Amino acid sequence: MSSQEDGAAEPGPDTVGPSSSSSSTDNDATTGDIISVTIGATVPTGFEHTAAEEVKEKIGVDARISKDRGRIYFPITTDKLFQVHLLRSVDNLFVVVEEYDNYQFKESKEETLMELQELASKLPWTNALEVWKLNRTFKKKKGYRKGGNGTKGKPKSEAAGATVADTEQQELPQATSTVENQTEESVPEAESDTQDSVEAAPRAILIKFRVTCNRAGDKHSFSSNEAARDFGGAVQEFFQWKADMTKFDIEVLLNIHNVEVVIGIALTEESLHRRNISHFGPTTLRSTLCYGMLRLCKPQPSDIILDPMCGTGAIPLEGAIEFNSSFYIAGDNYDMAVNRTVNNICHIQKRRADKGSISGLPIDTVRWDLCSLPMRTSSVDIIITDMPFGKRMGSRKKNWDLYPSCLREMARVCRPGSGKAVLLTQDKKCFSKAISRMGGLWRKLHTVWVNVGGLHAGVYLLKRTEAVFGQTPEDVYESREELWFMYCFYFSFC
């Protein structure tokens, strides 16, 4: 989890020890004041290729997808470092200190842990720490957050065999609000003024750190806590930093996936997926997952995009910010869900206005009855929504009736031939059956398998067929009252 005991801490990150002759060429390449490093990013599992495409599109470099699902790596120079914080598909960012594709662990626990301790003094820390210092100038000053950094790897279900402490796995939506107004402790006021003051008096700064280990694999003789403890102790001895599990300045990451080992330094204090939502619901989607779903359907200028079960409005909000040439309609049958969406929209508008940006967003919110949408037939270009899983809301038994009815009404409002739908659900069997019943109206193009809160779910890309609604065998009449009853049952507790 984190490095062990506290100890004396005098030198700052400028007092870096000697580097080993490592195989990491990216971290050793420098040109004047510009340093070339490798950046690692955690992304929603299943959308690694989407994240790599965004990196290529916005930064202009090729990203490498890790063997460990949910991570990508790409090179960057420090003059472009600010651009990594503009990526919408990544959850957490870190600069790579060193990576090993085929690390040979010793058979015994004692030998392996001793080797990890020896490794700490041999790593090329210098460039990574320079990037960490530069990165601090891009980030908004915040207080320390209890429970540590947001650069957790992935949910427990993805790291089979890993033992990670609860504080590394929990992500509470309100965590930042409770400490946002706290001041940074043990950091002189001069640090916030100029970076030069840090370099001028490195011994005046008390550097605190922790080590977080994310491990996956069942052939390791050690646990995540043991690896973090011993490696962290060696880092503490090497730098003479002070270990602190919650109020740390630097988070060192030790990522182990079978025989792949990556050591890095976190560049994000909290996951970037929380960027849009201030009013959460029980099933609020991560903004990074919403972005991946939106890229899947490739919105075009002037498209009308509909989320008929918007919940907190996470999907249309992400679309209105990033793909703002389209118009978004967010609707739900439950008053509280609509209110949350409105509040989240107002939150974004206020934030944009405070920054001097145009506060308006191409989005509207409606309370409606899903079985009778107040939309003209064939008037919507894209439908994108998070369907009920039958877990926290409703039941899988009811999904057998709800899913076909939803797909039928969606087919009515979607444009034949060109319309698309991107639908997220964990109830794969029920959804596949419903699609087979709607064969004349929808055609499945692609499926992306994702992890949503530890659940294995699918994001389905559907294409609206040329068939005219009302003239296919699938257009079976279902009473409005019956569908309204089912839909209310599902969302009465959302």
Q: For residue range 173-184, list pLDDT tens digits in order.
A: 333 333 333 333
Q: Which of 148-157, 162-171, 395-404 has the highest mean pLDDT?
A: 395-404
Strands (DSSP E) contained in 58-112 are: 64-65, 71-77, 92-100
Residue 55 has pLDDT above 80, yes or no: yes
Residue 404 has pLDDT above 50, yes or no: yes
Confidence tier at 138 by pLDDT (50, 70, 90): confident
49 against 482, higher pLDDT = 49
Q: What is the mean pLDDT of residues 2-27?
A: 38
Report how many helices (DSSP H) and strands (DSSP E) the chain contains, helices first: 13, 16
Q: What is the mean pLDDT of residues 400-417?
A: 90
Distance CA 66, CA 158 (A): 14
Q: How far is CA 46 from the centre of its chain?
A: 12
Least confident of 89-93, 105-109, 205-209, 474-478: 474-478
Residue 28 has pLDDT above 90, yes or no: no
Distance CA 97, CA 263 (A): 5
How far are the Cα atoms of 172, 221, 238, 296, 417 from residue 105, in angstroms, in the given order? 35, 9, 22, 40, 55
Residue 430 has pLDDT above 90, yes or no: no
Q: What is the mean pLDDT of residues 101-120?
A: 93
pLDDT value of residue 155: 39
Cβ atoms of 287 and 277 within 8 Å: the answer is: yes
Domain 287-484 falls in which CATH fold?
Answer: Rossmann fold (3.40.50)
Residue 71 in 3-state DSSP? strand
Cβ atoms of 285 and 271 within 8 Å: the answer is: no
Least confident of 32-36, 308-312, 446-450: 32-36
Residue 324 has pLDDT above 80, yes or no: yes
Q: Which of 262-266, 468-472, 481-485 has the highest mean pLDDT?
A: 262-266
Comparing C-alpha atoms, which of 92, 21, 419 is closest to residue 273?
92
pLDDT value of residue 356: 86
State the average pLDDT for the chain.
79
Task: Show Cβ contacts of residue 360 under 8 Å, excluding neighbours closer than 6 positions.
Answer: 349
pLDDT value of residue 93: 96
pLDDT value of residue 271: 86
Residue 241 has pLDDT above 90, yes or no: yes
Domain boundaries, the chain: 287-484
Q: What is the mean pLDDT of residues 129-154?
A: 63
pLDDT digits (tens, 9 = 90+) for 271-307: 888 888 898 887 789 999 999 999 999 999 999 999 9
pLDDT digits (tens, 9 = 90+) for 470-480: 777 766 544 44
Confidence tier at 69 by pLDDT (50, 70, 90): confident
Residue 377 in 3-state DSSP? coil
pLDDT value of residue 205: 75
Residue 481 has pLDDT above 90, yes or no: no
188 against 402, higher pLDDT = 402
pLDDT value of residue 288: 94
Residue 151 in 3-state DSSP? coil
pLDDT value of residue 195: 44
Distance CA 305, CA 422 (A): 11
pLDDT value of residue 163: 33
Confidence tier at 383 by pLDDT (50, 70, 90): very high
Confidence tier at 252 by pLDDT (50, 70, 90): very high
Residue 171 has pLDDT above 80, yes or no: no
Distance CA 470, CA 138 (A): 55
